[in-house]
């Protein structure tokens, strides 16, 4: 019987995950099916149980269910426990649910694919929501010189930074407190989706800097256009999407896909 996987979201019709995992399966010779399931907002746990009862082996989880997934797990990876969120579910042989988060791994691997060196870098991360919480541990593990979390609500950024202060030089504050220059600036807000831009100073970027937006589209986001005008190298989040999916696939099938051709195909389809 073919093993079943899915991505849960609400909405989820826009998800590229079925396309990505179909490509991984074909590349690796793994016989799986992968679908998108729109779970009810008030019963994510029920949707997971129904999927398991129908033969499901594992799932990806996207907004707004990553914290719901965290709460239903019997066992959590250390990085999921630290992040307080889960984007990858694995059904164990004992029937228990194991939860992991692969977002941070996906981000760091994508940055590495672009030749971005995080060690010793001054990093600015914009936003203090779940997307940011999930990537702070791997960013700090890379041993940057400093990491500033900036958010419209300063208190939320300060609190988030305090949660990770044992891992390295991290602090939080409001957008108005941002003073450059930074070698790496990561936009973890959803402002790009609305064509909006956080209030940032023009002298944000170091002479050689990378601007990374976790969002992506057929055209550069407003944040990436703004960064390019100020001399930064722009990178969107499509590679992060593919790399976090590859880590989830590895967790499920114990085979690591070649992400480059999958990313190129996905880019061409935008």
* Positions at the binding site: 15-17, 62, 87, 103, 127-131, 151-156, 214, 216, 237, 244
Catalytic residue among 9, 20, 48, 66: 66
Tell me how far apart the alpha carbons of residues 53 and 39 are, in angstroms, rounded to a whole number.
15
Q: Which residues does the annotation place in the binding site for NADP(+)?
A: 127-131, 151-156, 214, 237
Q: Which residues does the annotation place in the binding site for shikimate?
A: 15-17, 62, 87, 103, 216, 244
The CA-atom distances, in angstroms, between 228 and each of 211, 222, 223, 224, 242 are 8, 10, 9, 6, 23
Sheet with 88-91, strands from edge to edge, namely 32-38, 3-9, 56-61, 88-91, 97-100, 75-76
Tell me how far apart the alpha carbons of residues 27 and 70 are, in angstroms, rounded to a whole number.
30
Kindly state the tokens that stand for 246: 């590859």
The CA-atom distances, in angstroms, between 131 and each of 87, 215, 218, 240 are 11, 11, 21, 12
Task: Tell the residue number behind the tokens 């940055």, with chain if given.
Answer: 111
Length of the chain, please? 270
Q: CB of 256 within 8 A of CB of 102?
A: no
Is the omega angle on the peptide bond into residue 32 within 30 degrees of 0, that is, cis?
Answer: no
Residue 255 annotated to the active site: no
Tell me how far apart the alpha carbons of residues 213 and 190 are, in angstroms, rounded to a whole number.
9
Catalytic residue numbers, as ranges: 66
């Amino acid at each position: 019987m073919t093993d079943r996987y899915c991505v849960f979201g609400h909405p989820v019709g826009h998800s590229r995950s079925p396309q990505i995992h179909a490509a991984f399966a074909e590349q690796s010779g793994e016989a799986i099916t992968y679908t998108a399931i729109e779970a009810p907002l008030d019963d994510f746990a029920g949707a997971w149980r129904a999927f398991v009862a129908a033969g499901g082996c594992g799932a990806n989880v996207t907004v707004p269910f990553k914290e719901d997934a965290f709460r239903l797990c019997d066992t959590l990876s250390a990085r999921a426990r630290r992040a307080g969120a889960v984007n990858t579910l694995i059904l164990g042989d004992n029937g228990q649910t194991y939860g992991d988060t692969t977002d941070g791994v996906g981000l760091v691997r994508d940055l590495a694919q672009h030749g971005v060196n995080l060690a010793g870098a001054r990093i600015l991360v914009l936003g203090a929501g779940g997307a940011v919480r999930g990537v702070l541990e791997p960013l700090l593990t890379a041993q940057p010189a400093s990491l500033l979390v900036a958010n419209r609500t300063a208190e939320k950024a300060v609190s988030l930074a305090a949660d990770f202060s044992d891992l390295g030089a991290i602090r939080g504050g409001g957008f108005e407190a941002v003073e450059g220059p930074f070698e790496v600036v990561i936009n973890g807000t959803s402002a790009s989706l609305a064509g909006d831009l956080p209030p940032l100073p023009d002298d944000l970027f170091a002479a050689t800097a990378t601007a990374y937006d976790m969002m992506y589209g057929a055209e550069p986001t407003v944040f990436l256009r703004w960064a390019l005008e100020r001399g930064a190298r722009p990178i969107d989040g499509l590679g992060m999407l593919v790399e976090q999916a590859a880590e989830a696939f590895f967790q499920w099938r114990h085979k690591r896909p070649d992400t480059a051709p999958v990313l190129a195909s996905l880019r061409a389809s935008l």
